[in-house]
Structure 1
Amino acid sequence: MKIKEEVVLVPTPTVPMRTVIYRPQEEGEYPAILLYSEIFQLSGPILRSAQMMAGHGFVVACPEVYYDNLEAGTVLAYDDEGKEVGNNLKWDTPIESFDKGAQSLISFLQKQTYCTGKIGTMGFCLGGHLAFRAALEDEVEACAIFYGTDIHSGTLGTGKNCDTFERIGELKGEAMMVWGRQDPHVPKEGRQRIYNQMCDKEVLFSWHEFNAVHAFMRDEGDRYNPQLAHQCYGMAVDLFNRRLKI
């Protein structure tokens, strides 16, 4: 399926949130996926992930996660300087900024003539956490979470004291949780804590652990595992087809 790209400025309570949208060229209505990036914002690997998902018949909207902090269009480099800036912003950005961004984007998409109104979320690293948190919104019916950081520890946002873990029971849709066993950012104890909480709260989810390092889905650098990435994208497509195209 051929796709097209557009860049929109989504209104939020503070400043417009620059968002890149990919969707099928063929006219019609399609379910939407909010796809959240790593701390580096909308890098090449993130946009290629979005393009691939859009090619399966979805509207894929990629918001700039630091829209309140950085100039629109800013992409941080995959280097030590970019990592430092991205991590500092992860801890300096109020949780309300992330939440209001998600709510604004959901509202925007549900008003578009090309969207069915069905919403899913997907994300990597920081974006995995943000996709999980966005999935706590009532409108979201499915989420695909790839090695979401800081869920187990609550260390996201100003003061490193977010309540995502405590709110796991609010998840109403289906979650697909994907982890790398050799990922130091979410160690075994952290993964077990999340798994136990999801079981205790009786949410609907699947759980997948692979022998892989952090960022194994990113198609740049020596962490990339193409075979596992292909498998995981297939699982995400299956999830969203089943939950959003009914």
Structure 2
Amino acid sequence: MTDTITLDTLAGDARFTVYRARPEGTPRAAIVVIQEIFGVNAGIRRKCDTLAEAGYLALAPDLFWRFAPGIELDPDVPDQMQQALGLMPKLDQDGAIRDIEATIRAARAELGDGGKVGVVGYCLGGRLAFMTATRTDVDAAVGYYGVGIDGLLGEKHAIAHPVLLHVPEEDHFVDKDAQARMHAGLDDHSKVTLHDYPGEDHGFATEFGARRSEESARLADERTAAFFAEHLG
């Protein structure tokens, strides 16, 4: 079952919308799906639906609600891609983490009895998933092609729960030097696992459109499913 709910911000001074996909029966755990720069679009909703089919409660908060509420963009449409790139600088990423934390708390409340909550994010969401791992008590975090993680390595000491990062080697937003810094900073971290994808570019695991690379997307998603099964149940 899918619906759209509204949640209070942590400060309790506003409300934002969240796409929710619920499994049949009791959820095994919950996963917060963190959007790309294109909003909570059809691809992000499909990620939620797939997780629900696997038995998870899935929640995707609209992180652009303060300046572009409800926006849905298609990266294969050039004008919409440019629009999305223009939206990204408007996002207060610290505020986005607070909204993600509010969503995590709501997920825990819905699960009850100490249910576990993970996050998975893509692009911008991949970066925010790493930040969520360092700044909240989320039980597990997965980031796909997160941008700028090499600039966040000063926070790695705060990672208390498992983190999985998918790194396409030909990512035109994350160059080889940045990838090398990620490996140098994280390969020896007991809680972090990095998987590299030779020949793949940014967005390779999108659900729809020209960016998807089927074989690598399936491999990454299989690794993510095994990771969540191990750490969330």
Secondary structure of residue in 1 paired with 2:106: helix
Q: Size of the alignment, in residue pairs?
A: 229
Taking structure 1 as reference, are residues 116 and 231 closer, same or farther at Cα in structure 2, changes over 3 Å only?
A: farther
Matched, 1:124 2:122: yes
Q: 1: distance between equivalents of 2:115 and 2:19?
A: 18
User: Given that residues 35 and 131 in structure 1 are in contact (C-alpha distance below 8 angstroms), is that contact kept between their aligned partners in structure 2?
Assistant: no
Instruction: Quote the sequence identity (%).
Output: 21
Among 194, 197, 202, the alignment partner of 2:182 is 194
Q: 1: distance between equivalents of 2:230 and 2:39?
A: 28
- The superposition leaves residues 76-122 of structure 1 with CA deviations (integer Å, 9 ceiling, x where unpaired) of 23233323332233222223211210121111111114685311110
- TM-score, normalization: structure 2? 0.90
Among 189, 195, 215, the alignment partner of 1:208 is 195
Among 62, 69, 73, the alignment partner of 1:76 is 73
> What displacement does 1:203 show?
3.9
User: Given that residues 31 and 116 in structure 1 are in contact (C-alpha distance below 8 angstroms), is that contact kept between their aligned partners in structure 2?
Assistant: no
Matched, 1:24 2:23: yes
Counterpart of 1:98 in structure 2 is 96
Task: Tell me the C-alpha RMSD between the 2 structures.
Answer: 1.9
Taking structure 1 as reference, are residues 66 and 169 closer, same or farther at Cα in structure 2, changes over 3 Å only?
A: same
> What displacement does 1:225 show?
1.0
Taking structure 1 as reference, are residues 218 and 138 closer, same or farther at Cα in structure 2, changes over 3 Å only?
A: closer
Counterpart of 1:228 in structure 2 is 216
Counterpart of 2:3 in structure 1 is 6
User: Given that residues 30 and 111 in structure 2 are in contact (C-alpha distance below 8 angstroms), is that contact kept between their aligned partners in structure 1?
Assistant: no
- The superposition leaves residues 52-80 of structure 1 with CA deviations (integer Å, 9 ceiling, x where unpaired) of 12211111111112122112x22123233
User: Given that residues 119 and 140 in structure 1 are in contact (C-alpha distance below 8 angstroms), is that contact kept between their aligned partners in structure 2?
Assistant: yes
Q: 1: distance between equivalents of 2:211 and 2:82?
A: 19
| Aligned-partner residue type, residue 11 of structure 1 | D
- The superposition leaves residues 133-171 of structure 1 with CA deviations (integer Å, 9 ceiling, x where unpaired) of 11224421211111001222x4xxxxxxxxx33212211
Long gaps (5+) in structure 1: 155-163
Taking structure 1 as reference, are residues 182 and 115 closer, same or farther at Cα in structure 2, changes over 3 Å only?
A: farther
- TM-score, normalization: structure 1? 0.86
Secondary structure of residue in 2 paired with 1:10: strand
Counterpart of 1:157 in structure 2 is none
Secondary structure of residue in 1 paired with 2:65: coil
Q: 2: distance between equivalents of 1:5 and 1:115?
A: 23
By percentage of residues, which structure has more helix? 2
Q: 2: distance between equivalents of 1:86 and 1:150?
A: 17
User: Given that residues 15 and 67 in structure 1 are in contact (C-alpha distance below 8 angstroms), is that contact kept between their aligned partners in structure 2?
Assistant: no
Among 195, 215, 219, the alignment partner of 2:207 is 219
